[in-house]
Every structure is written in structure tokens, then in C-alpha cells.
Amino acid sequence: MRRFATQYRDFFRLPDVAALVTVALLSRMPIGMVGLSMLLFLRESLGSYALAGTVSGVYFTAMAIAAPVQGRLIDRSGPRLTVAVTGVAHPIALGAVLAGALAGLGLGAVAFAAAVAGAFCPPITTLTRTMWRHRFTRDEDRRRAFAIDAVLIEVNFTLGPAIVAGVVAAASARAAFALAIAVTVVALALFAASPALRYFRTEKHGERHLLGPLTQPRLLAVFAATFGLTTSFGFLEVGYPGFATAIALPALGGLFLSVNSLGSAIGGAVFGGLAIRAPIERQFAVATGTMAVPLLLHGFVDAPVAFALVAFLAGASIAPSIACQSVLVSRLAPAQYATEAFTWSSSFILLGLGAGMALGGWLIEASGPKSPFLAGAFLMAVVSLGVFALPVARAGPRESAAGR
């Protein structure tokens, strides 16, 4: 236990690390607030979840499409111009969604504003992950940084919805969406003023291709594994509410998701404090394979307490899996595509979540509430075997050096 604490103490004593972790937490608060508050506000103003979901889908689709374009611009010119442009355009477009819906401008106008907001969404999460790549050169340091980063995202996804829910209960969905827009502005200002941007480097040399990092076969394999991994996350997103509804306790759906997130946060914190000698490719394979077991166990328990326990265990491998994936992306991406690689990673994450949620809903209708968990277990076993097949890349001289 003492060695575990020492690992974290030494890590946080490195120059700027404590400040960068704080900024990573605060600057990404909007990711847990904007999507939910916009959905609830649009449901209230447009009158149906179908219309609200359509606009939200437009927002996230535009975000996924635009992310690689932003990444390529950042790799070529640095992050400051992109941060400045998106920092102005994004909150204005969100304000247009709010104003347009309140003015009754109709679905088309509101959806267009949402598309602009998504296309100009500031790539703070991507920039944070790229920052850790630039800040550290050793895989061990990057693994710890990305593990902490995964835990922070879980905190964002826990605190953000809780704040939105509190404002909706105390005031209204409109107030919650307006607060989310204000938090977005403050978060961008905090990130721009932080030490984070100082660590970015642009690679002026190196051959460039139209497809960018997608020309790298091993990176494509990691992206394929990412899609499979996050598809299983999508299964969980619909599986827990579906099971809770099937046992006539729909409120437990949110509780199961929270317990799953708690397991992820604790699993990530433990993973980040361990000193592991195995290659990161093998760590990724073990983390994804371990997740298959509790996913399978969902099919054999019915009591809510037992279901919550396996939900916690399933979550325990999520943050470690994401941390390993991030280390692999940072290692395999050529220097001239450092940021674009992480934006493609985000796109595959979003696509996987969407596919899992869509397929999971169909599975529930066709085969019952346990089917998404069983499908997720099978998928994670396949992903783990695929990752085990990846050749292990030996650390280069920069990675084997202290590099701090």
C-alpha cells in the first residue's frame, strides 16, 4: 500500500502535473452536462423525446465528423487557433439552439444550430490526451497519466449529470441548459489559461497522407478494438435501464449505471498506482478480457443487489482498458498526426457507443433484457483475443530513458 501511495505521490510532484490534472477535471465538466441538459431542454421545448433525440443525434454526429478535421489542423498549426475559434463558435451555437427552440423556429433551424455546435465543439478531451503524450515519453508515465485521466472522465460523467438533475429539479431544464453553456465558456477559459498548451509541439517534417493516421495498420487495429470496446459500453448504457424496467424498478437503471461508473473510477485509480512490467499491448488484452467475465455474470443473477455487484465488477475494467488504449494511440501515432490520431480515436468511441446503444435496444426487444450483457461478454472476448494477436512493440531509446 505504501508503494502504491508513493507511485502517486512521486507522479503528482512532477512539474505541472498537479495543475494539469486539475485543469483536465474542470475544463471537461461540460461533457457531462451539455448533452443531457440539451436533451432535457429540447424534450420540454419541442414536445417529444423523438425530436429531442434527433437534434441530439445531429449534434453528436457533427462532432464525430468534425473531430478528425480539427485534429489535422492542430497537428499542422498548433492548438491555439482551433481553441480560439471553437471557444467562440461553440457557445454561440449552443445559445442559438436555446434561443431558437424558445422562439419556436422549428426542428430544422434548431437542428442546424446543433450541427454547428457539434462541428465546432472544442476538442478539450482530445487535447488533454495529446498533452499527456507530449508531457511524458515513457509508457509507464503515460499509463499512469491516462489512468488518472480515465478516472477524471468518470468523475465528469458523474458530477455533470448530477448538477443538471439538481438544476432541473430546483428550476427548469432551460436553466440547466443555460448553466451548461455558461460552464462551457468558463471551462474553455480555464483550459486556455492553463499550462497545457505549452506542452504541444507541431511536427513540421514527415510525410503526410490524405488518410492521416489511418494509414498505420497497427493503429487501425487499435481503433477496431476501440470500436468493439465502446460498443460493449453502449450495450451497458441500454442494458441497465432495460433490466431495471423489466423488473418493474426503472429507477434502478440510473443506480446500476452509477455503480458501474464507480467501479470504473476505482479500477482506474488502482490501475494507475500499480507498477506493471508487462507490455502495454498485453495489459490492454487482459483488461478487455477481464471485462468479459462480469458481463457474462449479468446473465445469471436477478436480485438487484447481486446485479449491482456485477455492474461494479464490470466497471472495474473500463478505465484501465481506456488507459491502455490511450497509451497505444500515443505510442503508435506518428508525430505529425499526434492530435489527429486521438480525434479519430474519439470518433471510433462515439461510433461504438452509438452502435452499441442501437443494437442493444434491438436485442432487448428481440431476446430479452439480459441479451445486451451476453452480447457484450462475447464481444469483449473477441476484442481481447484480437488484441493478444497484436505484436508487442519494443520501447525505443526515448521510452526506455527516464524521459521525465
From 133, 166, 200, the end of a domain falls on 200
Mean pLDDT over residues 127-138, rounded?
Answer: 80
| pLDDT tens per residue, range 63-105 | 888 888 888 788 777 888 888 999 999 999 999 999 999 998 8
Q: Other C-beta atoms within 10 Å of 134: how many?
A: 16
Closest CA to 21 of 146, 138, 121: 146
Q: Are residues 238 and 349 in the same domain?
A: yes
Q: Is residue 207 part of a domain?
A: no
Q: Is residue 205 part of a domain?
A: no
Confidence grade of residue 400 (pLDDT, cut at 50, 70, 90): very low
Q: pTM to 2 decimals?
A: 0.72
Q: What is the CATH number of the domain that holds 295?
A: 1.20.1250.20
Number of domain units in the chain: 2
CA–CA gap between residue 256 and residue 326 (Å, rounded): 26
DSSP 9-60: HHHHTSTTHHHHHHHHHHHTGGGGTHHHHHHHHHHHHHS-HHHHHHHHHHHH
Residues of the chain with pLDDT > 90, as a percent, come to 27
Q: Is residue 1 part of a domain?
A: no
pLDDT at 228 over 70: yes
Mean pLDDT over residues 111-135, rounded?
Answer: 87
- Contact present, 295 and 231 (Cβ < 8 Å): no
Residue found under cell 468511441: 349
Q: Are residues 194 and 296 in the same domain?
A: no
Query: Mean pLDDT over all residues of the chain?
Result: 83
- Contact present, 97 and 113 (Cβ < 8 Å): yes
Q: Is residue 242 part of a domain?
A: yes
Q: Are residues 218 and 349 in the same domain?
A: yes
Range of 120's domain? 14-141+153-200
pLDDT at 399 over 50: no
Confidence grade of residue 280 (pLDDT, cut at 50, 70, 90): confident
Q: Is residue 6 part of a domain?
A: no
Q: Are residues 235 and 196 in the same domain?
A: no
pLDDT at 357 over 80: no
Which three cell numbers mark 108? Answer: 430544422
- Contact present, 127 and 79 (Cβ < 8 Å): yes
Q: Is residue 338 part of a domain?
A: yes
Confidence grade of residue 49 (pLDDT, cut at 50, 70, 90): low
Mean pLDDT over residues 12-29, rounded?
Answer: 87
Q: Are residues 265 and 167 in the same domain?
A: no
Mean pLDDT over residues 341-370, rounded?
Answer: 82
| pLDDT tens per residue, range 175-199 | 999 999 999 999 999 988 888 878 7
CA 73, chain centre distance (Å) = 21
Mean pLDDT over residues 337-346, rounded?
Answer: 77
Q: Give Cα separations from 17 to 10, 21, 144, 266, 292 (angstroms).
A: 10, 6, 11, 20, 34
DSSP 140-192: HHHHHHHHHHHHHHHHHHHHHHHHHHHHHHHS-HHHHHHHHHHHHHHHHHHHH
Q: Which residue has the higher pLDDT, 128 or 208?
A: 128
Q: Is residue 404 part of a domain?
A: no
Q: Are residues 33 and 182 in the same domain?
A: yes
Which three cell numbers mark 96? Answer: 442559438
What burial class does residue 328 get, using C-beta atoms within 10 Å of its C-beta: 0-12 exposed, 13-18 middle, 19+ buried?
buried
Q: Are residues 22 and 49 in the same domain?
A: yes
pLDDT at 9 over 90: no
| pLDDT tens per residue, range 290-306 | 999 999 999 999 999 99
Task: Compute the half-sphere exposure of residue 148: CA atoms within 13 Å on the CB side of its CA.
Answer: 21
The per-residue pLDDT for 342 is 78
CA–CA gap between residue 139 and residue 143 (Å, rounded): 6
| pLDDT tens per residue, range 371-390 | 999 999 999 999 999 998 88
Phi, psi of 245 (to 5 degrees): -65, -40
| pLDDT tens per residue, range 245-276 | 888 887 687 778 878 888 888 898 888 877 77
Q: Are residues 53 and 171 in the same domain?
A: yes
Q: Are residues 193 and 238 in the same domain?
A: no
Q: Are residues 169 and 286 in the same domain?
A: no
Q: Is residue 367 part of a domain?
A: yes
Confidence grade of residue 227 (pLDDT, cut at 50, 70, 90): very high
For 92, residues 6+ apart whose C-beta sits below 8 A from its C-beta are: none
CA–CA gap between residue 385 and residue 221 (Å, rounded): 12
Q: Are residues 51 and 129 in the same domain?
A: yes
Confidence grade of residue 402 (pLDDT, cut at 50, 70, 90): very low
Which three cell numbers mark 6? Answer: 508513493
Q: Are residues 127 and 235 in the same domain?
A: no
Q: Which residue has the higher pLDDT, 321 or 134?
A: 321
